[in-house]
Amino acid sequence: MKFSELMAQLKFLTPELVLCGCGIVVLFVELTKWRAKNLVNAAVCIWSFAAALVILWVQAHHQMHQVLFYDTYLLDPFVLSGKFLILVAGILTVLASTRYVEIHEVSLAEYLSFLTFSILGMFVFLSADDFLILFLGLELLSFPTYILTGIKVKNERSCEGAFKYLVMGAFSSAILLFGIGLIYGATQSTKLAAFTQAFAAPPQGSIFLLGVALLLTGFGFKLSLVPFHAWTPDAYEGAPTTITAFMSVTMKVAGFFVFIRVFSTLNTPVLADTIAVIALLSIIVGNFYGLVQENVKRLLAYSAIAHGGYIMLGFLDTAHRDEATYGMMFYLVNYLFMNMAALLVLVYLTTKDKYTETLSDLRGIGQKRPLLGLVMIVAMFSLAGLPPTPGFLAKFYVLKSAVQAGYIVTVVLALVSTILSLYYYAKILIVMYMEEEAAAAVVEKRPYAVAIAMAVAIAALFYLAIFPEQIFSMLLAAN
Amino acid sequence: MRESLLTITIFAPLAVAILLALIPRERRKLMEWGSLVFAIVIFAMALCLFCGFDPQKREFQFIDTFSWIPRLGISFAVGLDGISLLLFTLTAFLMPIVVLASWTQIHKLINEYYAMLFVMETAMLGTFATTNLFIFFIFWEMMLIPMFFLIGVWGSENRVYAAVKFILYTAIGSLMMLAAILYLYVEHHHQFGTWSAAFGDLYRLELPGRTQLYLFLAFALAFAIKVPMFPFHTWLPDAHVQAPTAGSVILAGVLLKMGTYGFIRLAMPLFPAGLQMCLPYLIALSVIAIVYGALVCYIQADMKKLIAYSSISHMGYVMLGLLVLNQQSVEGAVIQMVNHGISTGGLFLLVGAIYQRYHTREIIAYGGMAKVLPKYSAIFLIVTLSSIGLPLTNGFIGEFLILLGTFRYGYDLYASSPCIFVYVPAVLAASGMILSALYMLWLVERVLFGELKDHQHHHDVKDLSVAEVLYFTPIVVLIFWIGVYPMYFLNKASASIAAFISMMQG
């Protein structure tokens, strides 16, 4: 393939290039002496994300299906929809971050450029059709998040969380790479197509299965599944709340989309049972440990572990792959907005004097600020999966796939542990509505950007609840 | 418009809730009057449905269908038959009363309170009116959220404990039911090839006996917790005592009926074989509820708790009537559902009224109230007699029909298994009538009659205010109307009940 042809293929990568440009421009703007450079940076970011969103939309609308760069980079509607979701999460995060970052005296430009490059990494991760590119994408998305988790350098918790995340992340990346190596040894190719073909009928007693196990480990780390979840609570607690929101949502979206692509030909009952056990354990661990948490971010970290388990349950329906996939996609869309909404409430309430993250910080908020309380009510009950919130529909879809695959007992156990989660989501609401406010909180000026982000999230949740059919059609088209 | 009256009636309260949330907090009078007016309008709409109902037809009327998620075969389908009509109208009937009772009792976060009440109304109306299992589950769970807040924010001292207990206890039953619903849903797809959750489609499923047993147990757990059946009743006393008056009235008046309605509509017709296997145990539990509920009332020191346990006892009657499955007993059960809503709702309103004045629910703190509050005592006595089941009051109709049906069940059973024990449920249930008379009349004697206790402010306690007279009057009217001329109400339901029984026996 000639160099000019390779360059011609770049035009399909416009969203990635836009992101790349954005990241660089932001850093250059930081070098200037403009007084409003933070605002400019935030604007640059939001506009570039929006531009990338539009380009993705157009590409998906035209049912683009391209394999680029020597069959290593795939663009198809499924992948494009994943990128779309990640960008939406990115825009909401940037909206929430501007004032928040100023409060914590972090350089906004560094923050935004790391964010942008992480998103770029997720794009590469999603589109990878070759294990090496997949690994490249994984590292590109992980490194900025390691840094972002610890970006509040003077905060002990932050450093601890970042350290644990970094060390465990490095280990899991290494294990993933080892797995890729073994699979290369077994299939003589790093291409994903070769892997999926071999995975459909795995050769017994070969290093292929060992490679698959190591691959699962790597993915399990990123998706916060048991037993690879130990970094999640500390990292989520230590990270700035906006980054917690970003990480919890986008890593799941990226991770699950790629998981679906990589393991799409799952056929062996033993492996399916293993995944079922992992999913069930994630649900149970996430729901149990969340019960005793005092810190809301830690609580939501355990809830993230549990939700990862639920989504994984949807994967088990190997006979009806399409339906299962868009059940999982629907769940991810829902999870994006409900987790964002919950964490954005915390961001809204954070001021220079009060860093809102524990349950006692939230006391009485529901009574003093009804709209904020309403956002939290919708978010909490949606996370718990209670009708009429869209979270219920998502759970229903995913559990229906699991039941169709025959995993009734697993579903029953998962539902039993859902009760536990209902308790800790209700606990947040109890603290907000049924206890008196400790001290009057003063918010100097309303963080309108955060309010807009919350409004978008809640509006999306309402739309998902009332018109799920439109979303299903969109997801189906993306499949 | 006419065709969608049912859907409009179901969602009108939700629209009202949103409307009320927009009213600024300071305009309290506007909020209260607005709520009352809207509640009455919704009741009027429900009355239109009630009067427009054709008692001759056996199938669902006022059917309305919106395709919601065609891919999953889930459509918003509503329709009323005789049984759901009565419960639907009861719900709409109780709302204005509850709103009016709340005027003087709720003082904080008023916007949220009335909004929650109306969201609750949508959930309750929807549960009774829907003919699709998925939608049923949505409305069923939807009522947990407002109730949780109603108890937890506006309740008494121990309200958080009661609210958490309520929501977790009820949710665990519901989630087990969800597992069963998922199984049914997937099974329907296996057997018929299409996705559907409509009641009619699911009734046609062929399920093996063992499976039916497990599914029945899952559904029965959810409904047994709601009814509440012994031994799943322990959330009820706490919830009732700690809830504000309006919350208790709605809880007793409507929410408990949702459990028994679930049995009639879902657990029993979907899994007849499962029902048969569990029948002796369920009958035993119902009878235990009747007798145990009544006996525990004697030792209660708190008025609301006493009435809560009497609820358990009354719902035992209803369950017994349903389980015995003949025309009289099921008619008695259905009318008793309505009666219990009216009389126990009335009792909670009475307790709320006296709590308003004296700020205590302890029975020993009261005595000789008849001297201070004559009108109140008159109404208290009437509602008590209705609760006991005195002839000419509504309670008698329900209890008599249920007992008749239970004796008849024993009589029919005697032919096949000649053992005197077939009459045990009937005899024990009949004894419940006596026990309920004993504890209620004793309560009346302690509170209304006897020596006036030493309160400082007997002289500035007023008898019933205009508002209170206004909301007690419909209750008293209905007590006597149903008691003297029940056929007006029973006729609406008998065709549907006959259809239900023939479906169970067929």
Which of A289, A339, A355, A366 shows the shortest CA–CA distance to A453? A339
E-assigned strand segments in B428-497: none
Task: Return the sign of the alpha-carbon dihedral for residues A441, A447, A450, A451.
Answer: positive
CB B146 within 8 A of CB B123: yes
Which one of A370, A396, A430 has the shortest CB-CB distance to B152?
A: A430
Which one of A370, A412, A472 has the shortest CB-CB distance to B179?
A: A412
User: Which pLDDT tens digit goes with each residue over B159-181?
Assistant: 999 999 999 999 999 999 999 99
Task: Return the sign of the alpha-carbon dihedral for residues A352, A103, A364, B236.
Answer: negative
Mean of all residue pLDDT scores within chain B:
90
Measured between beta carbons, the chain A residues lying within 8 angstroms of B144 are 386
**Pairwise CA distance, residues A362 & A157, whole Å:** 20
**For residue A164, how many C-alpha atoms fall within 13 Å in the half-sphere facing its CB?**
18
Residues 6 or more apart whose CB falls under 8 angstroms from that of B311 comprise B236, B240, B252, B256, B293, B340, B344
CA distance B214 to chain A (A): 12
Q: Is A415 close to B175, i.e. CB distance below 8 A?
A: yes
Q: If you search the block for the tokens 């169709």, which residue do you land on?
A: A404
Bridge partners of B77? B65
Work out how many CB contacts closer than 8 A connect A with B.
90
CB A128 within 8 A of CB A137: yes
Backbone angles phi, psi at B77, to 5 degrees: -120, 125
Q: What's residue A477's pLDDT?
A: 66
Q: Is B185 close to A472, i.e. CB distance below 8 A?
A: no
Q: Is A411 close to B137, i.e. CB distance below 8 A?
A: no
Element (H or E) spanning A74, and its range?
strand A73-75
**Pairwise CA distance, residues B93 & B87, whole Å:** 10
**Pairwise CA distance, residues B425 & B63, whole Å:** 39
User: Which pLDDT tens digit goes with each residue over A300-333?
Assistant: 999 999 999 999 999 998 888 888 888 899 999 9
Measured between beta carbons, the chain B residues lying within 8 angstroms of A469 are 68-71
Residue A13: DSSP 8-state: G
**Pairwise CA distance, residues A457 & A463, whole Å:** 10
CB A405 within 8 A of CB A317: yes
Q: Is A423 close to B164, i.e. CB distance below 8 A?
A: yes
Measured between beta carbons, the chain B residues lying within 8 angstroms of A386 are 141-142, 144-145, 171
What helix, strand, coil percent values describe chain B, rounded to 5?
75, 5, 20
Residues of chain B with pLDDT under 70: 1-2, 455-457
Judge whether B271 is closer than 8 Å to chain A, CB to CB.
no
Closest residue in chain A to residue B162, using alpha carbons only? A430
CA distance A283 to chain B (A): 15
Interface test with A, best of B110, B127, B145, B221 (most A CBs within 10 A): B145
Pick left, alpha or beta for residue B308 (phi over 0 → left; psi -120 to 50 → alpha; otherwise beta): alpha
CA distance to A247, A335, B233, per residue, from A339 (Å): 11, 6, 35
pTM metric for this prediction: 0.92
Q: What's residue B142's pLDDT?
A: 93
Q: What's residue A105's pLDDT?
A: 79
Measured between beta carbons, the chain A residues lying within 8 angstroms of B168 are 419, 422-423, 426
Judge whether B71 is closer than 8 Å to chain A, CB to CB.
yes
Residue B382 CB: number of other CB atoms within 10 A?
19
CA distance to B172, B173, B269, B297, B388, per residue, from B176 (Å): 6, 5, 18, 31, 35
Residue B130: DSSP 8-state: B
**Pairwise CA distance, residues B13 & B19, whole Å:** 10
Q: Which two tokens stand for residue A180?
A: 């890729």
**Pairwise CA distance, residues B345 & B109, whole Å:** 24
CB A124 within 8 A of CB A133: yes
Task: Return the sign of the alpha-carbon dihedral for residues A356, A358, A361, A362.
Answer: positive
Q: Is B70 close to A399, i.e. CB distance below 8 A?
A: no
CA distance A128 to chain B (A): 31
Q: Which two tokens stand for residue A185?
A: 């040894």
Among B residues 411-440, those touching chain A with beta carbons less than 8 Å apart: none
Residues of A with CB under 8 A from a CB of B: 367, 370, 377, 381, 386-388, 392, 396-397, 399-400, 403-404, 408, 411-412, 415-416, 418-419, 422-423, 426, 429-430, 433-434, 468-469, 472, 476
Closest residue in chain A to residue B69, using alpha carbons only? A469
Backbone angles phi, psi at B109, to 5 degrees: 50, 55
Measured between beta carbons, the chain B residues lying within 8 angstroms of A476 are 71
**Pairwise CA distance, residues B460 & A95, whole Å:** 59
Q: If you search the block for the tokens 């302690």, which residue do you land on?
A: B446
Residue A463, judged by CB atoms within 10 A of its CB (0-12, 13-18, 19+), counts as middle
**Pairwise CA distance, residues A276 & A402, whole Å:** 9
List the Cα angle A44/A49/A55 in 5-degree steps. 125
Q: Is A387 close to B71, i.e. CB distance below 8 A?
A: no
**Pairwise CA distance, residues B266 & A207, whole Å:** 53
**Pairwise CA distance, residues B411 & B504, whole Å:** 19
Q: If you search the block for the tokens 């205590």, which residue do you land on?
A: B360
Between helices A390-404 and B159-192, what is the axis angle to 10°? Answer: 50
Q: What's residue A443's pLDDT?
A: 58
**Pairwise CA distance, residues A209 & A24, whole Å:** 42
Interface test with A, best of B14, B106, B136, B141 (most A CBs within 10 A): B141
CA distance B318 to chain A (A): 28
CB B42 within 8 A of CB B122: no
**Pairwise CA distance, residues B327 & B402, whole Å:** 10
Q: Which two tokens stand for residue A166?
A: 């970094």
CA distance A364 to chain B (A): 11
User: Which pLDDT tens digit goes with each residue over B76-101?
Assistant: 889 898 899 999 999 999 999 999 99
Which one of B137, B168, B176 has the shortest CB-CB distance to A422?
A: B168
Judge whether B63 is closer than 8 Å to chain A, CB to CB.
no
Which of B342, B317, B308 shows the shortest CA–CA distance to B483? B342
SS3 B242: helix
Question: Per-residue DSSP letters for B261-295?
Answer: HHIIIIIHHH-HHHHHHHHHHHHHHHHHHHHHHHH
Residue B213 CB: number of other CB atoms within 10 A?
18
Residue B460: DSSP 8-state: T
**Pairwise CA distance, residues A387 & B136, whole Å:** 10
Max CA distance (Å), chain B:
73
Residues of chain A with pLDDT under 50: none
**Pairwise CA distance, residues A222 & A138, whole Å:** 9
Between helices A448-466 and A321-349, what is the axis angle to 10°? Answer: 150
CB A242 within 8 A of CB A102: no
Q: What's residue A478's pLDDT?
A: 62
Which one of B21, B69, B164 has the shortest CB-CB distance to A469?
A: B69
Q: Which is it for strands B61-69 and B74-80: parallel, antiparallel or unpaired?
A: antiparallel
**Pairwise CA distance, residues A282 & A446, whole Å:** 38
Query: Side chain identity at A457, as an amino acid letter?
Result: A
